Structure 1
Amino acid sequence: MIDETDAAGEPTTPGDPVNTPKTAAKPGFVASVAAFVRRHRLAVSITGGVLALALLGTGALSAGAAMNAPAEASAATTTPTPTADPARPAPAAAIAPSRIRTCSVADRAADGRLAAMQAQVVNAATGEVLYDRGGTTPSRTASVMKVLTSAAALSVLGPDYRATTTVVKGSEPGSVVLVGGGDVTLSRTPSGTETVYPGAAHLDELAAQVRAAWDADPANPPLTKLVLDASYFGGDEWEPSWDLVEREDGYMSSITALQVDGDRDDPTANTSWRSADPIGRAGEAFADELGGIAVIERGTAPSGAAQLAQVSSPTVAQLVDKALVVSDNTVAEMLARLVAIKTGSGNTFGAINQGVLQGLAAYGLDTTGITIVDGSGLSDNNAVPPSYLTRLFVKINAREANLGVIMDGLPVSGQRGSLSYSDRFAGDNAVADGAVSAKTGWIETGYTLSGVIRAQDGATLTFAIYALGDVSDDTKQAIDTLTTGFFLCGDNLSNQ
């Protein structure tokens, strides 16, 4: 016990423990207390509570109780029942210290090719952050954004949802209206042909339904006019922050509710030149299938018009797989726009932020600071912290709700999709082949990678790496090397 001093600064004998009974007050001590009170009445009146607490440890509280108690109480010899002091809450259980981890990736993280690097690694089983470099700062994601878009689509639309393209009777005799329902996978190739979109519907099937329904009514005049209704999506067809080179180089189409084959020149090639008029191209292709069409124009379907035909897209689960495994930008924008419409947020680029965030709310993670400009990640104006991705991937890895669809759709190091290309996880990094399931990302101002690592020691890690700024093609290898370091370290990963 620590020695204490009295009011004059002299040492006092340590008091008995608070719960030790006393049969009488100590006269010398009581006198000294009384003298102190007479000399310092004002101070005592102001700080009485503090003084009482100070005296408690010296035994003075027991002495004071004895002075003010009835005579019979002073002579009592029974032990009083201890009572809890409400001013002294029980201390919380001590937090066990985190063990010291010794496996460093400092040399890998120092690679200049990573430019302005942000990263975070989490143990998926414990939730412990093992490694963090700017992990809570929202930044552009590149195509890793497709993970958020997919998660929102699975929440809002569900894995079995399909977008539908319909044909209805027009307001004029001899006319029909082709109504786009947002299906960018609809194909102009003959039925039975495999395009880049497995399970896609075909225009020839749609045309055959129209002809059968039209010819079934003898009162119908010859079919000569086709109206194109793409009003399901509104606003700009090209997000203003996107570089037009993405369309010219064949990575992205204009975003319209009516188009075929993602507006590719080559329906069988993931990367293929896209036009500036996907609606017109779709209309011409459908007119060719119908035959006899003399006029094609833009418009909207009459209210309550009789439906003649319909075909549907692949399921959301199939579309998510396509958006993730080869990073299909057009499909990702299709999903984002359908989410915005379904949530009631709107049908333009400007509605995507609200719609996707509403979809993500179902997973119970804080989305504060996140900005979503598009569904594909092409915009530099997107902002998501790596920490959001590491937490979302914990849920994806656990296959919560419908998130197992994302887990199954991710590229896999050395085995599947964009992580199986010859320039990914090659050389020394091949040790992690099959162990990394993650979404890749690339725009002119950054490379990204985020997903799940089955580490060498058996731990499951979730991670996100952003390499932003002045990057080059070999930044991908620097990201792979750092990821391989995480794989080798596992739960022994040091944050130093």
Structure 2
Amino acid sequence: MKRMMSRAAGHPWLEIIRRQLPLALLTILIVALAVPGAMLVAPALTGQRPNPEGTDSTAPAWQQVPRDLSLPQGISPLKDSAPVPWPDTLAAQLNATLKADGGGSFTGVVQDAATGQVLFDRGGSEGRVPASNMKLLTAAAALRAIGPDQRFSTKVVSGAEPGSVVLTGGGDVLLGAGESSQDAVMGHAGLATLARLTVKSLQENGVTGPVQVRLDDSLFTGPALNPTWSLDDVAAGETAPLFPLALNSARYDPAVTTGPRPQDAAMAAAEAFSAQLTAAAAAAGLSVTPGVERAKAPASGTVLAEVQSATLRQQVDLMLQTSDNYLAEVLGRLAAVASGQPGSNDGATATVYKQVQDLGIPADGLRVADVSGLSLGNQVSASQLAEIVRAITSGTEPGLRAAIGGFPVAGLTGTLGNRYTDASTERGAGLVRAKTGTLNSVIALSGYVVDADGRLLVFSFIGNGLDPGAAGNRTALDRTASALASCGCR
């Protein structure tokens, strides 16, 4: 901000704007920096590229460090004529920053998004524990298998016994306890709305006796926990037993994203629905029998009420931005169901593996033990992750573009919101868009950036065997990605 002021002081009209419209200017600046990555790289992603023009050696305004942007200049389209970094020059910069703090090592790959040319490769084919970078594979698999605009329904169906209703989970684990909120992702579908619609249908059907609530959560099968997960991670709330319906992504409170989770999220949601139904029924002169039991909805049952989730693309955005393990695992199981596989751990991992293969990405050494990245049994190479990012940003399947907005933006959003704030990394603030990944001795960062010359680059850096808690490892990743953002490596 001080640099902005000093620059404004040299130009009277800028000083006037700075004094009169500080809040408006700040708002415009934030919006300009937070424009979804899809807008930033849209011409490269859609294939609608401008005619080649001469290369401008001056970095465009949108590529500058955020605090140096005195006035928004808009987004310049990518050019075919933008130079590709020289690999040797790029390697010299990245090798200087990509160093482990203590034990362990980093592998990494950088590619030109348009051509696939590998510009930097340090052990890129080596299988590594990817931590939450695994969610990039899951996002791509779910979008391919399900479709970005698909929604998941939570229904109330008439039960086999007179007066009984069956709450049936269809994969929405972002249910809210109150009324549906159409502008939200978490809580897009609300149990209070579902209860109110249910009572209306019961009245229309002439139901007068006590109503008994049942729960059908049979969409998912097999163990509710992945056997490769640490029970300590489960106890700490990193994830929870998986069900096809839950409140707040299996959290007690949507605003509290740490600590223990419900161990039977489906029953917790059913009991919350029963409470909402009781209140709505009382106002209509009906009663609800206390208690909820599990029972499969009859095939001949009538749908009494239904609420639908946010779209898959919105859920993928949330999953990537917040690195939600529970949501990732649920989306993996839903992808399996959509592919004709069981909605189980094995179904999810098999589906993600196959979807990666079907994208044409070599699966040599790929091991999928879970689909959220909590498992130490996962093995993914930096090359495979970079190719996934390239498929999302620049591949031939438009449906994968739905994941672009989910990449956290350095210094602004999601799991990168509080990073890229010091002098060694600020060059990447507002520019680097990447998925984070952290386990005890693992750290990873995979994403994309438009460099100072206007070239779209994709990258993946993975550290394994690191000293737990060594702060320099995160800094090494952020400095390396920042070097890419500011690169005019020719």
Q: How does 1:67-466 map to 2 (within 5 A)?
A: 101-103=88-90, 104=92, 105-113=94-102, 115-192=104-181, 197-198=185-186, 200-218=188-206, 220-291=207-278, 292-398=288-394, 400=396, 401-421=398-418, 423-466=419-462
Is the CA contact 2:114–2:394 (under 8 Å) kept in the aligned structure 1?
no
TM-superposed CA distance for 1:465, in Å, is: 0.7
TM-superposed CA distance for 1:156, in Å, is: 1.2
In structure 2, distance between residues paired with 1:272 and 1:316: 26
In structure 2, distance between residues paired with 1:206 and 1:189: 9
In structure 2, distance between residues paired with 1:426 and 1:465: 20
Is the CA contact 2:157–2:167 (under 8 Å) kept in the aligned structure 1?
yes
TM-superposition CA deviations, 1:68-98 (whole Å, max 9, x none): xxxxxxxxxxxxxxxxxxxxxxxxxxxxxx9
Give the structure 2 partner of residue 480 of structure 1. Answer: 478
In structure 2, distance between residues paired with 1:106 and 1:122: 16
Distance 1:358 1:296, change over 3 A: same
Q: Which structure has the greater CA radius of gyration?
A: 1
Structure 2: gaps spanning 5 or more residues: 1-84, 279-287
TM-superposition CA deviations, 1:355-406 (whole Å, max 9, x none): 1233334433222332222221111111211111212222322264222221
In structure 2, distance between residues paired with 1:205 and 1:99: 58
Is the CA contact 2:136–2:388 (under 8 Å) kept in the aligned structure 1?
no
TM-superposed CA distance for 1:411, in Å, is: 0.6
Instruction: For CA contacts below 8 A with separation 6 or more, give which structure has more relative contact order.
Output: 2
TM-superposed CA distance for 1:294, in Å, is: 2.4
Give TM-score, length-normalised by structure 2: 0.75
In structure 1, distance between residues paired with 2:355 and 2:449: 26
In structure 2, distance between residues paired with 1:413 and 1:346: 38
Give the structure 1 partner of residue 69 of structure 2. Answer: none
Whichever residue aligns with residue 217 of structure 1, its letter is: N
Whichever residue aligns with residue 176 of structure 1, its letter is: V
In structure 1, distance between residues paired with 2:343 and 2:321: 26
TM-superposed CA distance for 1:214, in Å, is: 1.0
Distance 1:208 1:399, change over 3 A: farther
TM-superposition CA deviations, 1:189-228 (whole Å, max 9, x none): 3445987x3462000111111111111122x342332111
3-state SS of 1:263 partner: coil
Whichever residue aligns with residue 116 of structure 2, its letter is: G
TM-superposition CA deviations, 1:45-77 (whole Å, max 9, x none): xxxxxxxxxxxxxxxxxxxxxxxxxxxxxxxxx
Whichever residue aligns with residue 235 of structure 1, its letter is: G
Is the CA contact 1:424–1:476 (under 8 Å) kept in the aligned structure 2?
no
TM-superposition CA deviations, 1:424-482 (whole Å, max 9, x none): 45332101112211111112231110011222333322111111123334121121122
Give the structure 2 partner of residue 47 of structure 1. Answer: none
In structure 2, distance between residues paired with 1:259 and 1:331: 10
Give the structure 1 partner of residue 66 of structure 2. Answer: none
In structure 2, distance between residues paired with 1:478 and 1:375: 26
Distance 1:466 1:254, change over 3 A: same
Distance 1:280 1:290, change over 3 A: same
TM-superposition CA deviations, 1:135-165 (whole Å, max 9, x none): 1122221111111111111111111101111
Is the CA contact 2:182–2:188 (under 8 Å) kept in the aligned structure 1?
no
Distance 1:114 1:154, change over 3 A: farther
Whichever residue aligns with residue 412 of structure 2, its letter is: Q
Deviation larger for 408-417 or 391-400:
391-400
Distance 1:351 1:412, change over 3 A: same
Give the structure 1 partner of residue 59 of structure 2. Answer: none
In structure 2, distance between residues paired with 1:239 and 1:353: 10
In structure 2, distance between residues paired with 1:362 and 1:249: 36
Whichever residue aligns with residue 120 of structure 1, its letter is: V
In structure 1, distance between residues paired with 2:454 and 2:107: 25
In structure 2, distance between residues paired with 1:249 and 1:458: 43
Give the structure 2 partner of residue 42 of structure 1. Answer: none
In structure 1, distance between residues paired with 2:87 and 2:459: 20
Deviation larger for 442-451 or 351-360:
351-360
In structure 2, distance between residues paired with 1:372 and 1:251: 19
TM-superposed CA distance for 1:289, in Å, is: 0.9
In structure 2, distance between residues paired with 1:138 and 1:188: 42
TM-superposed CA distance for 1:132, in Å, is: 1.4
Cα-Cα RMSD:
2.3
Distance 1:296 1:330, change over 3 A: same
TM-superposed CA distance for 1:184, in Å, is: 0.4
Is the CA contact 1:113–1:478 (under 8 Å) kept in the aligned structure 2?
no
Identity of aligned pairs, percent?
33
Is the CA contact 1:425–1:432 (under 8 Å) kept in the aligned structure 2?
no
Is the CA contact 1:138–1:384 (under 8 Å) kept in the aligned structure 2?
yes
In structure 2, distance between residues paired with 1:137 and 1:346: 31
Whichever residue aligns with residue 137 of structure 2, its letter is: L
Whichever residue aligns with residue 160 of structure 2, its letter is: S
Give TM-score, length-normalised by structure 1: 0.74
Whichever residue aligns with residue 208 of structure 1, its letter is: R
Question: How many pairs are equivalent?
Answer: 392
Is the CA contact 1:461–1:490 (under 8 Å) kept in the aligned structure 2?
no
Is the CA contact 1:449–1:466 (under 8 Å) kept in the aligned structure 2?
yes
3-state SS of 1:293 partner: strand
